[in-house]
Structure 1
């Protein structure tokens, strides 16, 4: 059996100055199976495709590898193009052992040294002719303008200048193969590997393609042609026949070989011929690719193209994210609105208040009293905004021949703020009324209904315990605060007037304290207790911290709001599962595209980034639409009177969760895509 190794090896032995072959295979074997087990648990038989192949190809040669279907020629091409690894044997490229190269280095080699021309064209269906040609340059980090100009020049040179923006489905078979050849030349195409390039073409188109390959060979490219057609193989200057995984013959045209080893040898880049230059160029090429921004921009462009082409399916996938984000925004807005409404309602009954009441905790201890001096002491405590004396009793009010029992509260002009109670009619009494012991009152809604019906009470006089008072205002309706008490059945008068002219004592019923910061309620309570203990020298009072209970209720409401948000976030998880499902389907549908990208020099992280970008883009678009829908629904709720308060934090959080959902649920499909075997991927339908 004649092998190239023997012929070329002899030449190399006599001429030590000759560079090593560009491609050299030594005892290459490739087998499949042996690891998979059958139903009986025993390993399935191993199928050996290549059996000790020895082959040397020098720069500038035009070689045809001929063999019947199943002879191993395509497997040989995959190994030559670094798409597959041999089971055993040694593959040297420019004197370097390929087995020592990692995945990124192999990707660089495919990107820079090889250009693939396949029988099935293997063009990316969603990209235009120019964009398909640009793919190898994208992974080489060539700037956008430069690669576009280079792709345009290559396609124009091959007669496709008017079809730059046509997609593969809009091109004939011959035109698609020209695009494939242009792609193979994009990064230089030092070695063109053509696998049955005319197999799917008619006679005329096949002849055109072979003419192009002849031109490339004459221009100095190393061309390796895989074919079963001997008429096609006749175009090569060297023909190698493979049968049952072994090379059975190697004949070459002497004149063609001489010409190939002469003029054409100068075409190959010095970095592909000299061992030191090759390693240096490879390390530099692996380390320096496109910038992160450029790679991300390209990934976004490709992702948007794919999603737009499949926009109906994309929209269905978006629905889960849209519903999830909108639900979180609306639920949090409604929760916040309800919380504010509850707090406001509670505020009408006193929220950030503390009450100091006479009488100690021990019923056998001193009874104790509170005076205006105690009010002054409490006012000096930090975080106390206001301290108001409060004198409460019951009185009989009379207007005309109508009598009504009511709660009588003697308070100061600070009452509107301390009690959070405003007037619906008239005005509140002033500090001057307080000093003058003015005989003026304000009445609650129920007291007004009892004495005056629906008439305006302002300016009229009533008798309070037989003392005439002028009604100067009506209080807003408050409703029942707790139990059977009714704050609307009340009469308010100046504290000095009530103490001296109605009740007859200056001892307070309690002190109402308004604090500034609700979160310091407990500390303020302790300070008030300490101050009064020091003044009284005995603990003859009690402090009720209503603010603390309100704080606890507020925290409970906030927890409920958070629970609403978490419940709504479940739909985001459902949407994320939808994203993962659609991405798994996308990987399955685009397996061949992944193989094409790997064959043109894409690294695993390029494929990972591409599919992660698509998943994140779906989630991002869904997040934006979800925010818009959530705001729209919230606006409708506000318009119909429902309590809703939008939170920028909730909106940003929902959007961020949508993006995170895309990353998390898109990672597994993206990793699956990145780990695909390029040979298996290219062979998929």
Structure 2
């Protein structure tokens, strides 16, 4: 007896108390009252038809019953709990666990198959994939669509689409079936089949509420409630005891939820969002390709620009280092070399050579001269230098030998040719050693050919040089005994900066003024490297602009996507998606677009880099740059996709469902 008493005391499943709904009333416009104090109760297990003419308020009442909208006044109690006290997540739980919607327009997601449409509520309920597939397949087979599982809505007839809609309503149990004009878009035969299905569900214990204007359809129900001008004008009353006990009420706002009340797992939703996004991208592949173009160009440009910049930097540094990174260079400043007692002299160099920080002091006298062999004349750069030059500047001899200190003392008329000069001056002599040439009509014997050297960045190529002993050049060619400039090698282990300061101290003591200039090769290399770094950064920033433009393209296409898929968003909300589920789904889609574009950009960037390497362009790929470009592309999707995703999550379910 106590059990019977508890059952009698249980609250009705649905209780409406003076429910009102108004629209408008803002900005001075008068409010339109659609529902005017509706009060009724519906017990669990009833089969109810709410009938009324178009504009009577019956569809608005269904939206309120299904928690798609909120009343302006009055109370809606579901299983004894005031729905107004529930937060957005609890309302989503009700739509997911308690209600199943069957719409006149079917409201199936166009890009999903029949089975995938049926599974949507289960995804948001967090049902494991295997169980989801098995249940959806069983429901569709039960409704006679076992051979239509993979068909999309446009491949199904109206009756078949409505049966898919019913299967979706039953996916999570469908304790309360809300059917809005379920036969309105069907022929008479299909309509009769759908009503027969609803009667079977009512017989099985489901609470079925049909919204219709067709009194023949309403006659199939066991209770008919008539609504007119937003008020209940007739109610045939409940026929018989409820066929099933009332379900548990929804979770309270902010209350803890059991496992069955949780939303989808992150992995499940991400997988579903990626699958849905990929399908939409493929269907709109031309538009997607144009959207991806900005991301692809941006990522590929960043990778290629930075790779070329790094390659060029390394090449410049390597070239500069090849001429000696531990070198100091000294020369007279301005007109001082023409003023007696003011130029850098050999006596100065002897004093400097005594510094412990220096290993070699190499005077040089240079100038352009005409060199002749046979009938061939060439203007070239002649350099008188010391015997230690090959060691000082890491420049080996390829053929023959280099002159000695004795040659320098004896004013020997010997010359060593640069690689290119030997080829251009004596093209018919692969080995010119022993040949005699004329320099300003002074005969010199070629004793060697230097190895190919190239040029330090911005300097004349060393391969065009003609080298001779310093004293010989000063007396026989240039008529000057003082050096044009001096190269000094810093001893191993000594600081280049300290050596430069020591040289400056000696020279300042001897001259009293700084009428000389001292250059640091290491500092020059660092300056060139910094210049290249600056250029690389500039190129990278230019490339990053493409990435930014690509991000704006992603945002634009996502805004279009939200607009195009507004009804789909409404369907997902009606089947139990929370606002954060919609936000996460569209954000995932934006990121997926960027990830695909970023991946394509990486591949294209590496391919372009490979072509440049084959063409002889210095290229060095940086794993950090590649990873950075890809992560920036992903972040671009996240940042620029947030606003469209937030807009999607903020849509009103009723407005979204009614969109075209």
TM-score with structure 1 length normalisation? 0.80
Q: Which position in structure 2 is the counterpart of 1:312?
A: 286
Is 1:560 equivalent to 2:560 in the alignment?
A: no
633, 640, 650: which one pairs with 1:675? Answer: 650
Distance in 2 (CA, whole Å) between partners of 1:554 and 1:481 is 11
592, 597, 621: which one pairs with 1:617? Answer: 592
Distance in 1 (CA, whole Å) between partners of 2:576 and 2:457 is 75
Is 1:369 equivalent to 2:348 in the alignment?
A: yes
SS in 2 for 1:544: strand
Distance in 2 (CA, whole Å) between partners of 1:246 and 1:613 is 45
Q: Which position in structure 2 is the counterpart of 1:388?
A: 360
Q: Which position in structure 1 is the counterpart of 2:240?
A: 257
Cα deviation, 1:421-465, whole Å, max 9, x if unaligned, reads 354x3266699999xx9x996333576479856524554276999
Q: Which position in structure 2 is the counterpart of 1:594?
A: 569
SS in 2 for 1:71: coil
SS in 2 for 1:301: helix
Residues 514 and 182 of structure 1: is their aligned pair in 2 closer, same or farther, counting only changes over 3 Å? farther
Q: Which position in structure 1 is the counterpart of 2:449?
A: 473
Is 1:571 equivalent to 2:546 in the alignment?
A: yes
Is 1:189 equivalent to 2:163 in the alignment?
A: no
SS in 1 for 2:356: helix
Q: How does 1:286-435 map to 2 (within 5 A)?
A: 288-343=262-317, 346=320, 353-355=327-329, 369-371=348-350, 374=353, 377-378=356-357, 387-393=359-365, 406-412=382-388, 415=391, 418-423=392-397, 425-426=398-399
Q: Which position in structure 1 is the counterpart of 2:204?
A: 219
Is 1:527 equivalent to 2:498 in the alignment?
A: yes
Is 1:28 equivalent to 2:13 in the alignment?
A: no
**Residues 365 and 484 of structure 2 are in contact (CA less than 8 Å); yes or no, is this contact kept in structure 1?**
no
Is 1:171 equivalent to 2:156 in the alignment?
A: yes
Is 1:491 equivalent to 2:467 in the alignment?
A: yes
Q: Which position in structure 1 is the counterpart of 2:187?
A: 202
Is 1:545 equivalent to 2:545 in the alignment?
A: no
Residues 615 and 349 of structure 1: is their aligned pair in 2 closer, same or farther, counting only changes over 3 Å? same
Shift of 1:96: 1.6
**Residues 180 and 210 of structure 2 are in contact (CA less than 8 Å); yes or no, is this contact kept in structure 1?**
yes
Distance in 1 (CA, whole Å) between partners of 2:651 and 2:254 is 29
Residues 611 and 93 of structure 1: is their aligned pair in 2 closer, same or farther, counting only changes over 3 Å? same
**Residues 386 and 405 of structure 2 are in contact (CA less than 8 Å); yes or no, is this contact kept in structure 1?**
no
**Residues 623 and 654 of structure 1 are in contact (CA less than 8 Å); yes or no, is this contact kept in structure 2?**
yes
Q: How many residues align?
A: 638
Distance in 2 (CA, whole Å) between partners of 1:216 and 1:480 is 88
SS in 2 for 1:252: coil
Cα deviation, 1:445-495, whole Å, max 9, x if unaligned, reads 5764798565245542769999997714334364698899987333256x9
Most deviating of 345-354 and 622-631: 345-354
Residues 49 and 553 of structure 1: is their aligned pair in 2 closer, same or farther, counting only changes over 3 Å? same
Is 1:85 equivalent to 2:57 in the alignment?
A: no
Most deviating of 76-85 and 617-626: 617-626
Q: Which position in structure 1 is the counterpart of 2:637?
A: 662
Shift of 1:358: 10
TM-score with structure 2 length normalisation? 0.83
Cα deviation, 1:22-77, whole Å, max 9, x if unaligned, reads 11121211111111x4xxxxx22211101111121121111111111111111111
Shift of 1:574: 2.3
44, 49, 55: which one pairs with 1:64? Answer: 49
Most deviating of 285-294 and 551-560: 285-294
**Residues 56 and 229 of structure 2 are in contact (CA less than 8 Å); yes or no, is this contact kept in structure 1?**
yes
SS in 2 for 1:198: coil
Query: C-alpha root-mean-square deviation of aligned residues, in Å?
Result: 4.4
Shift of 1:605: 1.4
SS in 2 for 1:257: coil
Most deviating of 326-335 and 669-678: 326-335
Distance in 2 (CA, whole Å) between partners of 1:144 and 1:16 is 37
Residues 315 and 483 of structure 1: is their aligned pair in 2 closer, same or farther, counting only changes over 3 Å? closer
572, 577, 580: which one pairs with 1:605? Answer: 580
Shift of 1:558: 2.1
Residues 609 and 57 of structure 1: is their aligned pair in 2 closer, same or farther, counting only changes over 3 Å? same
**Residues 595 and 677 of structure 1 are in contact (CA less than 8 Å); yes or no, is this contact kept in structure 2?**
yes
Q: Which position in structure 2 is the counterpart of 1:3?
A: none
**Residues 442 and 475 of structure 1 are in contact (CA less than 8 Å); yes or no, is this contact kept in structure 2?**
no
Cα deviation, 1:293-319, whole Å, max 9, x if unaligned, reads 222111111111111122222222222
**Residues 399 and 461 of structure 1 are in contact (CA less than 8 Å); yes or no, is this contact kept in structure 2?**
no
Is 1:580 equivalent to 2:543 in the alignment?
A: no
Cα deviation, 1:554-606, whole Å, max 9, x if unaligned, reads 32232222222222322222222222222111111111100000000111111
Q: Which position in structure 2 is the counterpart of 1:11?
A: none
